[in-house]
Amino acid sequence: MSTEKGFTLLELLVATGASLALIAAVGSFTRAEGRMVARETRRLELREAGRRIADAIARELRGGGFAPVDGSFDGERDGLSVAARGRIEIRADLHGATSASPPDGVLDADSDERIGFLRSAARGTVSQTIGRQTASLTVDARVPPQGLAFRYVDACGVEITPAAGDELSEDERRRVKAVDVRVVLADGVESLTSEVVATLRNRQGLRCP
């Protein structure tokens, strides 16, 4: 009677097959986990980028119309100088002839006393204008059409829409108390929206009649 111990060929084949199946299952699970982690990472990056941009725009908008001294600059009239669905520009008397000098009541349109935001259709970005300079705030092709939108709200919380054309008139702009900023970022797979409301500092006293 033989006392030799070992595996038959069939047993080896079965064990090898089971091991390969286990390795394939582990690999498939690992790939699925990797895809999920990558997707969540993209979502987090989009969310953080969108929130950062929306907050930066809102922070600038809150200062629109700042006019601490009397002069030719009228913050009530010119603080919100452009108000359209996809474009906005604010102005403020932040300094004098140089950035180190105090406000002088005069607007320097070529400096940071004039700031705007718009979507660049050619590049698919959110762009910021400072004076006559323009800089992108997002990576190219990250902002879809209608990915930057502004809603203008009066003291009663009612949206103000242009009676004619695409931009609010001067009278309509004067009624604006707050601006709702909406930013949509996409990476081809994910698309996330960030939204924030900014109350213009010099319009905080507006009351609903």
What is the Cα–Cα distance from 160 to 175, expressed in whole angstroms?
8
**pTM, two decimal places:** 0.81
Q: What confidence tens digit (pLDDT) does each residue in 144-202 have?
A: 999 999 999 999 999 999 998 899 999 999 999 999 999 999 987 788 999 999 999 88
Neighbours of 90 (CB within 10 A): 27
pLDDT band at 85 (very low <50, low <70, confident <90, very high): very high
| Cα-based torsion angle of the residue sequence 188, 193, 194, 197 in order, rounded to the nearest 10 degrees | 140
User: Two tokens at 159?
Assistant: 């949206």
Q: What percent of the chain has pLDDT over 70?
A: 91
Selected residue with higher pLDDT from 4 and 59: 59
* pLDDT of the residue at 96: 93
Question: With 60 as the cut, is the pLDDT of residue 1 above it?
Answer: no
Which of 125, 96, 123, 127 has its CA nearest to residue 112? Answer: 96
Task: Spell out where 121-177 has E strands.
Answer: 125-130, 133-136, 148-153, 159-160
